Amino acid sequence: MNAVVLRPGRDKAVRNRHHWIFSGAIRDLPGFEDGAILPVRSAEGELLGHAYFNRRSSIAGRMVSFGAEAPETAVRHCVERALALRTGFFDPAVTNARRLINAEGDGLPGLIADLYDDVLVLQVATLGMERLKPLVIELLTGALRPRSILEKSDLPARRDEGLEDFEGLLAGEQVDRVRILEAGIPYWVSLAQGQKTGFYLDQRESRALVRRSAAGRRVLNTFAYSGSFSVCALLGGAARADSVDSSGAAMALAQDNFELNGLASDAGAFFTADVFEFLREPALDHDFIILDPPAFAKKRTDVVQACRGYKDINRLALQRVKAPGLVLTFSCSHFVDEGLFQQVVFQAAGEAGRRVRILQRHRQAFDHPVNVFHPETAYLKGFLLYVD
């Protein structure tokens, strides 16, 4: 079969099991149909593995297998290993929602698979993974026997791949929302109109932290989406938990989650508003503010602008929080690493004129593993700040 040949000296990343091949690293590109899997060779002719390729994408190829392993065998093994990695950590009577496959974090570029009780939700980011989808579905169906398999592939990155957004039912019955349990707490996951695959599973460990640290506090949960941090704060004994999101649908979902947990409707208010403006409201009296914005930097060139946005909301929250107070602040932009994010918080604290200490550092939950060979899989970082 025709192989893709890398330029001399440009094979180091792939030899180190990084998944991405940029066009600048390629010497010979044979004729092929976009999305096809091709062997990848070094300039000396050594077989380095197999990758799927797409001429339209800024990342020309993504490694599916390394060395001599056949690509389909590698996919099979990666799915098996991904399921094995999560086995034994969750008691389904307490937590029945988890990420099963975290793209390159599990060796499967372009693929997210989340399990919500017995409903499997896939998100496919690339044409190459689109071609592998039937195999993935077969493997996951065999292992899990889900009630339904849905796809929620509404990612801007798909446009670079020549793919339209797609949301729909792949197998089983149509499900609009599913009730999950996390740490014994029920939540509605909105599959019909929810964000991502339906729920921010990556914040599981931070939700537990909020539950532990909110007792007696007046909490402001910004970028609240499902209201899950508000629910956790109240179950942890918060005096009040107010939620803000620019999406009215998100605020309706958050209210449903209050009801599902038997929380009084006056336990917190729901504001459909822009957080940048809301944090300037004169009447705020909260002593625990949560900032969990969407990724402000979606690409490297966005970083400066993104840091300005992060600094603004952090400065406002640090100014507004009543002392002694807590601010739990996150960034889920891969391109803003923890060091840079800490610098942004440092500047925000300086401008706010408050004394700020980091009590804890946070990362994406463990079922979103970081592949040491592919550090781009680390994206979520957060600080619990103490302000006095």
Active-site residues, by number, are 332
Closest to 315 in 3D by CA, of 282, 288, 353: 353
Nearer to ligand SAH, 11 or 182 (CB): 182
In the list 32, 90, 166, 276, the residue contacting ligand SAH (rule: CB under 6 A) is 276
Distance CA 108, CA 105 (A): 7
Report how far apart the first and last C-alpha atoms of the chain are (Å, whole number).
66
Residue nearer to ligand SAH on the CB measure, 126 or 221? 221
Rounded to whole angstroms, the Cα distance separating 336 from 13 reads 22
Q: Per-residue x/- marks for ligand SAH, 319-358, CB under 6 A?
A: ----------------------------------------
Stretch that binds ligand SAH, among 35-43, 51-59, 89-97, 289-297 (CB under 6 A): 289-297
Q: Return the number of the residue (147 or 177) whose C-beta is nearest ligand SAH.
A: 177
Question: Which residues in 170-199 contact ligand SAH (CB under 6 A)?
Answer: 195
In the complex, the smallest distance separating the C-beta of residue 250 from ligand SAH, rounded to whole angstroms, is 5
Q: How far is the CB of 64 from ligand SAH (least distance, A)?
A: 30
Closest approach of ligand SAH to the CB of residue 310, in Å: 12
Nearer to ligand SAH, 250 or 385 (CB): 250
CA distance 26 to 306: 32
User: In 3D, which of 53, 103, 56 has the Cα closest to residue 75?
Assistant: 103
**292 near ligand SAH (CB under 6 A):** yes
DSSP H helical segments within the chain, as ranges? 12-15, 71-86, 127-144, 157-160, 204-213, 228-235, 248-260, 275-278, 303-320, 338-352
Asked whether position 375 contacts ligand SAH by CB under 6 A, the answer is no
Task: Based on the shown chain and the rule CB under 6 A, indicate whether residue 250 belongs to the binding site for ligand SAH.
Answer: yes
Torsion angles phi and psi, residue 97, rounded to 5? -130, 135
- In angstroms, what is the minimal distance from the CB of 199 to ligand SAH? 7
Amino acid identity, position 31: G
Cα distance between residue 121 and residue 115, in whole Å: 6
Question: Out of 46, 176, 259, 274, which residue is the one contacting ligand SAH (CB under 6 A)?
Answer: 274
Is residue 294 close enough to count as binding ligand SAH by CB under 6 A?
A: yes
Decide: is 275 part of the binding site for ligand SAH (CB under 6 A).
yes
**Cβ-based neighbour number of residue 75 at 10 Å:** 22
Minimum Å distance from CB 242 to ligand SAH? Answer: 13
Side-chain half-sphere CA neighbours of 181 within 13 A: 10
Binding mask 207-246 for ligand SAH (x = CB under 6 A): ----------------xxxx-xx---------------xx
Q: Give the span between the Cα atoms of 323 and 304, in whole angstroms.
A: 30
Q: Tell me which residue of 13, 133, 15, 46 sits closest to 4, measured CA to CA.
A: 46
Nearest residue (CB) to ligand SAH, 125 versus 244: 244
> Minimum Å distance from CB 249 to ligand SAH?
8
Rounded least distance, CB 293 to ligand SAH, Å: 6
From 132-140, 259-267, 268-276, 299-307, give the range in contact with ligand SAH by CB under 6 A. Answer: 268-276
Rounded least distance, CB 346 to ligand SAH, Å: 23
**Would you say 96 or 272 has its CB closer to ligand SAH?**
272
**Closer Cβ to ligand SAH, 59 or 316, answer by number:** 316
Q: How far is 211 from 233, CA to CA, in rounded Å? A: 5
DSSP state letters, 328-367: EEEE--TTS-HHHHHHHHHHHHHHHT--EEEEEEEE--TT
Q: Which is nearer to ligand SAH, 225 or 379 (CB)?
A: 225
Preceding omega of 375 cis (within 30 degrees of 0): no
Dist. CA 19–CA 126, nearest whole Å: 13
The residue ranges that bind ligand SAH (CB under 6 A) are 195, 200, 203, 223-226, 228-229, 245-247, 250, 274-276, 292-294
